């Protein structure tokens, strides 16, 4: 039976308690089979939550042919210093014979307190090359919320990675790749295969070979694929 794959559009949603719209939008996407209507519930859970609601269950509905839908949660502003309130979002009570959850089957909503100043790093990981012309690595911090107060934001730790310019750095171009079992690209030399792209930075003056191992959901190897980068 064809499946509808439903997931959150974001892993983390963010809103300020004093947002002028007084609500935050949670968008869900649907791919795969769109030939039927789909019902499920959005479960909203959290502890000591004062600035967003309702908690509990909200109905989610996709009409036939509909590939996105949006659920709205209310925001409540107050004058108390509470810090960030976090709620977890899950999709439940769907028909497993009709619906499967996509990669992003759960999500988090952070509601920021406008009485607090949030200071945090602009990135989780900063990258610099050892041969930078400036001789320095740049670390940027941001501040939001109440600029007359101070507090740490969610991103209050970071990593600086200094790369060796005599080394080739090979990595995947994406964290997650998506393909459909019925994909067929006539413009590709391999029309019935999923395309995985790797990038190379640093030293590109030599040829480099490596391998990509593909594992099934149980962790068993499905094979090794040779990858060659020419100089």
CA Rg value for the chain: 23
pLDDT surpasses 90 at 26: yes
Q: How high is the pLDDT of residue 191? A: 60
Segments making up each domain of the chain, as ranges: 4-112, 117-163, 168-229
Contact 228, 211 (CB under 8 A): no
Residue in 10, 7, 12 with CA at minimum distance from that of residue 110: 12
How confident is the prediction for the chain on average, in pLDDT?
A: 87
Distance CA 180, CA 187 (A): 16
Distance CA 11, CA 1 (A): 28
CATH for 4-112, options being 3.40.50.150, 2.60.40.10, 3.40.50.300, 2.60.40.2030: 2.60.40.2030
Residue 149's pLDDT band, with cuts at 50, 70 and 90, is low
pTM of the model: 0.66
Dihedral Cα 168, 174, 175, 181, nearest 10 deg: -130
Give tens-digit pLDDT for 114-138: 888 888 899 999 999 988 888 899 9
Q: How high is the pLDDT of residue 62? A: 96
Q: How high is the pLDDT of residue 151? A: 59
Q: How high is the pLDDT of residue 218? A: 77
Contact 30, 66 (CB under 8 A): yes
Q: Which residue has the higher pLDDT, 124 or 191?
A: 124
Distances 119 to 14, 111, 137, 145, 217 between C-alpha atoms, Å: 16, 15, 20, 9, 39
Residue 180's pLDDT band, with cuts at 50, 70 and 90, is confident
Give tens-digit pLDDT for 203-224: 888 888 888 888 887 788 888 8
User: Long-range pairs for 136-140 at CB < 8 Å and ≥24 separation?
Assistant: 137/162
Dihedral Cα 61, 104, 26, 37, nearest 10 deg: -10
Number of Cβ within 10 Å of residue 197's Cβ equals 8
Residue 70's pLDDT band, with cuts at 50, 70 and 90, is very high
């Amino acid at each position: 039976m064809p499946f509808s794959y439903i997931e959150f559009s974001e892993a983390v949603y963010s809103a300020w308690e004093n947002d002028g719209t007084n609500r935050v939008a949670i968008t869900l996407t649907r791919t795969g089979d769109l030939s039927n209507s789909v019902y499920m519930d959005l479960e909203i859970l959290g502890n000591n939550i004062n600035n967003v609601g309702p908690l509990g269950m909200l109905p989610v509905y996709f009409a036939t042919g509909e590939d996105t839908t949006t659920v709205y949660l209310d925001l409540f502003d107050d004058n108390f210093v509470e810090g960030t309130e976090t709620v977890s979002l899950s999709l439940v009570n769907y028909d497993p014979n009709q619906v499967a959850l996509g990669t992003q089957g759960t999500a988090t909503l952070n509601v920021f307190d406008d009485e607090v100043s949030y200071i945090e790093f602009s990135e989780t990981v900063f990258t610099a090359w050892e041969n930078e012309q400036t001789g320095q690595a740049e670390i940027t911090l941001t501040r939001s919320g109440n600029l007359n107060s101070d507090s740490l934001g969610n991103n209050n730790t970071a990593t600086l990675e200094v790369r060796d310019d005599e080394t080739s750095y090979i990595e995947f171009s994406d964290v997650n790749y998506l393909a459909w079992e019925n994909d067929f690209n006539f413009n590709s030399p391999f029309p019935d295969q999923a395309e995985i792209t790797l990038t190379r930075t640093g030293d590109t003056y030599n040829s480099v070979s490596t391998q990509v191992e593909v594992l099934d959901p149980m962790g068993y190897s499905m094979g090794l694929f040779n990858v060659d980068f020419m100089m």
